[in-house]
Structure 1
Amino acid sequence: MDYDVVVVGGGAAGLSGALMLARARRSVLVVDAGAPRNAPADGVHGLLARDGVPPAELLAVGREEVRRYGGLVERGEVVDVRRVDDGFVVDRGDVTTVRARRVLVATGLVDELPDVSGLRERWGRDVVHCPYCHGWEVRDRAIGVVATGPMAVHQVALFRQWSADVTYFAHVTSPLPDVQAERLAARGIRVVVGEVAALEVAADRLVGVRLVDGSVVARDAVAVAPRMKVRADFLKSLDLTAVEHPSGAGDHIPVDEFGRTAVSGVWAAGNVTNPMAQVGAAAAAAADAAARLNADLVEEDTDRAVAAYRR
């Protein structure tokens, strides 16, 4: 085999898993497509001792740490993974294929944003999704939550923790049940009925939400709950496909408590298995999965040594 482990994905989860494996003296290759989900954000928040670090800086430091222990980090995109003998062939398209005993998938997610004019351009700036990631940065401002999925009511209730001025835009969703409407009203959350047409921007700053009837509601920040889709098409040859996450927020690759997928030898961690995980949780899950993966390799190494010893 070329490597003990190929890690697909070079974000916080992939690098954390690779670091654990490289420190375990495993030969590791990280294949990174170079499209981190949090690239538009100014900083990573809620990460102990690194709160506010720019995403690119965090990954640059992580890559150097992996390389320090002999791990390889290369730019590229994995297009296919298939089983061969007692391992896997990892195909990087126009680059030579490599073989690995195990594969750790940490490719993360793609946010499928709602089709609202101006929203994509403000994404990661004054259009956000996670109150734990961005709530402090928009605290005490006029926040609008545009209902774009089943998590919207939960999301608006959370953002009320960071601001007393929160408006729920029903957009194209069904009317709220009476119980939910009452709970929002009790917290002083205004409900605006009507489809959202666009975001209003002035001097490179969000100033409001415009409805299809032409009315504009002044807002300083907007939250949406995009559908989260895992990057996992390259696993189709293994018959390993994503399924709907229980939260309804998107899909995911199911794993057991150790990070093992339904395909023996393929492990997964981070947002590809848990779309709700922040950077710290994704990295921690990958470190744990890598440790379990290494233990699995140790067992295999020992079995082979026993067989050789008996001969």
Structure 2
Amino acid sequence: MTTAPASSPTRVDALVVGGGAAGLSAATVLARSRRDVVVLDTGEPRNAPAEGVHTFLGHDGVPPLELLARGRAELESYGGRVVEAEAVGGHLADDRVVVECADGSVWAARHLVVTSGAVDVLPNVPGLERQWGRGVVHCPYCHGWEVRDRRVVVLATSPAALHQAGLFGQLTDDLTVLVHDPSAVDEAGRERLEALGVTVVDGPASALVECDGVLTGVETPTGVVRAEAVAVASVVEARSAVLESLGVPVVDLEMFGRVAARHVEVDPMGRTSVPRVWAAGNVADPMSQVVMAAAAGTRVGAMVNAELVTEDQERRLAAR
């Protein structure tokens, strides 16, 4: 990863903001099409706390940072560049998208692809963030196999907990739903869970309990609920500063009667509502796993190159 150039604005064919699976995939497609492409990245992937990437065919168990290192090397082998910089804003200028960075550098690209990802906002329970990606999980498809047959506590903060309990109940028979928010589990939901053999405990949760850094339980006003893993639904917030500065709206995604995420809307090809501005990965689809984000980035990279090809042809024809 290199630093931003001292002189600016630096003009490129395509600029990618965010160097995760989506961004590197988009940039690699463009580099392989002989485009001058730069990725701006801060090195803070959403899945950094996880031990490995799962359900990515051929890459199962690869540590997230190792996967990204491989991706950067592949991109650079085709002439693409990854620059260490934080994009903080942008605007349109004629046939370019101009992006400003925190270090003062400025980039001007014919097309901008934003793959800045998202962050997980967790309930305010001491210990949740510290255990995030280890003892605390959210996705049964990302981490479920790793907690199979273990003592799992679903922290019920919204009605989504009933859905989550069903998914994790497929993986273990030792399942407890801890009602952190009373509105999360109504009487009918409680009866359903108990009829299915799921233990329901009233909270709220006051803290996680650890021994030598290993999760052992969840503290409540009436005692400690033993746990080897805690499943919790985060609120997924898009990293959208650049998109919002360009006028791309951020919208709420509601699931199970609550706001589960905030993201930007794109068309099936990844176009936003602003010309020359595209988005892929968790910033646009907050529920995407790594393999889905990579696929979306590949599609957007191909579409951007197709747009560039058409523009180049029109310019050559106009010159004649």
Could you say which TM-score interval applies, normalised by the shorter chain? over 0.9
In the alignment, what sits opposite 1:307?
318
Distance 1:184 1:20 in 2: 47
| Residues 169-188 of structure 1 mapped to structure 2, 5 A cutoff | 169-174=178-183, 176-188=185-197
In the alignment, what sits opposite 1:104?
113
Distance 2:278 2:292 in 1: 17
Greater Cα offset, 27-36 or 197-206: 197-206
- Which stretches in structure 2 are left out of the alignment for 5+ residues? 1-9
The one-letter amino acid paired with 1:251 is R
In the alignment, what sits opposite 2:3?
none
| CA offsets 1:25-80 (integer angstroms, 9 cap, x no match) | 11100000111111111111111111000111000000000001010101110011
In the alignment, what sits opposite 1:232?
240
Distance 1:104 1:147 in 2: 36
Does 2:269 match 1:261? no
Distance 1:303 1:63 in 2: 33
The one-letter amino acid paired with 1:155 is Q
TM-score w.r.t. structure 2 length?
Answer: 0.93
| CA offsets 1:10-31 (integer angstroms, 9 cap, x no match) | 0111101111111111110000
Native 8 Å contact 1:233 1:241 kept in 2: no
| Residues 125-274 of structure 1 mapped to structure 2, 5 A cutoff | 125-174=134-183, 176-211=185-220, 213-247=221-255, 248-274=259-285
In the alignment, what sits opposite 1:286?
297
CA RMSD of aligned residues (A): 1.4
Distance 2:134 2:203 in 1: 25
What is the Cα deviation at residue 151 of structure 1? 2.4
Distance 1:168 1:210 in 2: 13
The one-letter amino acid paired with 1:231 is R
| CA offsets 1:98-154 (integer angstroms, 9 cap, x no match) | 110000010100111111111111111111111101001110000001022342221
What is the Cα deviation at residue 173 of structure 1? 3.5
Distance 1:275 1:225 in 2: 13
In the alignment, what sits opposite 2:27?
18
Percentage identity across paired residues of the two chains: 50
Secondary structure in 2 matching 1:124: coil
What is the Cα deviation at residue 181 of structure 1? 2.9
Q: Matched residue pairs, number?
A: 308
| CA offsets 1:264-291 (integer angstroms, 9 cap, x no match) | 1100001111111100011101101111
| CA offsets 1:281-306 (integer angstroms, 9 cap, x no match) | 11101101111111111111122122
- Structure 1 residues 85 and 121: alpha-carbon distance in aligned structure 2, compared to 1, 3 A threshold: same
The one-letter amino acid paired with 2:33 is A
Native 8 Å contact 2:237 2:261 kept in 1: yes
What is the Cα deviation at residue 175 of structure 1? 5.6
Distance 2:147 2:16 in 1: 35
In the alignment, what sits opposite 2:47?
38
Secondary structure in 1 matching 2:218: strand
Secondary structure in 2 matching 1:250: strand
Native 8 Å contact 2:207 2:219 kept in 1: yes
The one-letter amino acid paired with 2:143 is H
- Structure 1 residues 136 and 175: alpha-carbon distance in aligned structure 2, compared to 1, 3 A threshold: closer
Distance 2:193 2:222 in 1: 25
Native 8 Å contact 2:156 2:185 kept in 1: no
| Residues 61-76 of structure 1 mapped to structure 2, 5 A cutoff | 61-76=70-85
Native 8 Å contact 2:156 2:179 kept in 1: yes
The one-letter amino acid paired with 1:67 is E
Does 2:91 match 1:47? no
Does 2:133 match 1:124? yes
Distance 2:191 2:82 in 1: 52
- Which stretches in structure 1 are left out of the alignment for 5+ residues? none
The one-letter amino acid paired with 1:233 is A
Does 2:92 match 1:83? yes
Secondary structure in 2 matching 1:153: helix
Native 8 Å contact 1:21 1:290 kept in 2: yes
Greater Cα offset, 141-150 or 36-45: 141-150
